[in-house]
Amino acid sequence: MKKRFLLVSCVILVLAAFAIPAFAAAKAKPVEIKVATPYPPPETSLASKHLVTWQKMVTDQTGGAVTFKNYYGGALGKPAEHLSLVKTGAVDMVVTYGWYTPKDLPLEDYDYTFPFGPTDPLILTKAMRQIYEEFPQFKKDFERNNAVKIFQSPGITEVFLTKNKITSLDQVKGKKCKVIGRYFGRWLEAVGISPVAAPGTEVYTMLQTGVIDMAMDTADLLYAFKIIEQAPNVLHPELLTTNWIGCWMNLNTFKKLPADVQKIVIDAGKKLEIVAASEINPAWEKMIFDNWKKTPGYSFTKMSDAERKKWADACPDTPAEWAAEVNKMGYPGDQIIKRFQELTAQMGHKWVRNWGVKQ
């Protein structure tokens, strides 16, 4: 009888130990988190879809103690201003991207430096989370900016939409293409494409008026701006996918949360990254291509492995350049570039070229 009583007591204690965090979170003082993002509402924005998915996890797990007020579409500031918004406490949280403020967060966009990097969002996400945990410099950069990273989730693969069907690299020479970012234009120039920097809001008209012949961007952003109506041909080179959706919380706001709620916030961020990569993004990408296929004149061309190799070999070693720059700033750039390739290769990505090679 005593043994049975002891066994039951132990079970009760174990169950109670698991119940304490949930109970404490449910009893936490209600708090509303003010969130700013330059991206549109979740009906049309993948980034915002990730945000509200994570928010639901947190609200549910805290028993409704933590809720959110979202300000979409840059209502509270331009993209480059969002780090300052969260740093100063003007808002409690932002969903944005580190490449808007490279001087403050120089490590955030290293995945953008790799031509023909991983296109599997799950491989990319797992590798980047591990690197974030292995290299403390990432967290220190956010602490210096009075912030903590909650999640860094993937976008959809980069593709080209073109006015005329393109099936080989020889056909892209002399074409004018809309790009964004620091490195993409140089990759295009390597195969004879003329890069034209422009915001997404202007691309539709630029194609319509013949200023450009094609547009390169993530499929979700091209979809959001309805670019397929002017350029119905998809050229898919499997160039790269990036984790550009960053969610950052003001460090003071985070520290004011009870310890168990802090854990819920961080753990939900890690879970969101996996859910986004394995569930949300594949469904979003299918939705995009299912809609694109209905466009008059639609075509889809996947670039051959031989052409991808030819293009990669022609590109400058931008990962090596990035590493050299951050090395001078005191960061382990060479180690990050090397580790990223090691991890993604172990997870199944086949690199067509080794990057970050010192000459």
pLDDT in tens, 31-64: 999 999 999 999 989 999 999 999 999 999 999 9
Q: What is the pTM of this model?
A: 0.89
- In this structure, the dihedral spanned by the alpha carbons of residues 77, 83, 87 and 88, taken in order and rounded to 10 degrees, is -20
- In this structure, the dihedral spanned by the alpha carbons of residues 172, 173, 175 and 176, taken in order and rounded to 10 degrees, is 110
pLDDT in tens, 73-102: 999 999 999 999 999 999 999 999 998 999
The CA distance from 117 to 343, in Å, is 12
State mean pLDDT over 286-303.
96
* Architecture of the domain made up of 23-154+242-286: 3-Layer(aba) Sandwich (3.40)
Q: Do domains 23-154+242-286 and 158-241+298-320 have the same CATH topology?
A: yes
In the chain, what are the domain boundaries? Answer: 23-154+242-286, 158-241+298-320
User: CATH says 158-241+298-320 is which class?
Assistant: alpha beta
Tokens representing 359?
């000459």
Task: Give the model's confidence band at 357: pLDDT under 50 very low, under 70 low, under 90 confident, else very high.
Answer: confident
pLDDT in tens, 124-168: 999 999 999 999 999 999 999 999 999 999 999 999 999 999 999
